[in-house]
Amino acid sequence: MRILRLLLLAVLVGVTGLLLARFVVRGPVDERSLAQAVVRETGSADRLLGATQPCRRTGRTGIFRCVASDGSGGADYRVRIRTGSSCFDGRRLRDDSEEGMPRRVSGCVYLWQWSLVDLI
């Protein structure tokens, strides 16, 4: 009985850690992690296709250019990292998609970025 309780506690701690890493604990921002976050927040088909392109740094500190697509075309976003944070705000610069991508996007880069779509 004691082993069962310890096993249950270990599973609970593990699941809690994974959920914190996905929804609470912020992760480092780089070209790939930011691209994953932008794709997630725009609802881009890139997430399903596994075709996320890394964002590109611009000449300005904390400013990136990111691309997200809906499968038929793409949209370019100018993304600004909030000072002292791994959270971002972006606005669409160009939209060649059929469905139309969101004008604005905001979110955060988390330590472990996944969604239910990744698990399917």
Question: Domain coordinates of the chain in residue numbers?
Answer: 27-111
Q: What share of the chain is helix, strand, coil (3-state, %, to 5)?
A: 35, 30, 40
pLDDT in tens, 27-75: 788 898 899 899 888 877 665 555 578 899 998 888 999 988 877 778 8
Half-sphere exposure of 94 (CA within 13 A, CB side): 7
Phi and psi for 40 in degrees, rounded to 5?
-60, -45
**What ranges in 24-92 are assigned the alpha helix state H?**
31-42, 46-49
Q: How far apart are the first and last CA of the chain?
A: 35
Opening angle at CA 39, ends 103 and 23, nearest 5: 110
Q: Residue 86 above 90 pLDDT?
A: no
- Contact call for residues 101 and 92 (beta carbons, < 8 A): yes
- The residue with greater pLDDT, 84 or 50, is 84
**Which residues does residue 21 pair with via DSSP β-bridges, in sequence order?**
none
Q: What confidence category does residue 81 fall into, taking pLDDT thresholds of 50, 70 and 90?
A: very high
pTM of the model: 0.72
User: Higher pLDDT residue, 18 or 15?
Assistant: 15
Higher-confidence position of 17 and 118 = 17
Percent of the residues in the chain that have a pLDDT greater than 70, as a whole number = 77
Mapping DSSP to helix (H, G, I), strand (E, B) and coil, where does residue 56 land?
Answer: strand
120 pLDDT above the threshold of 50? no
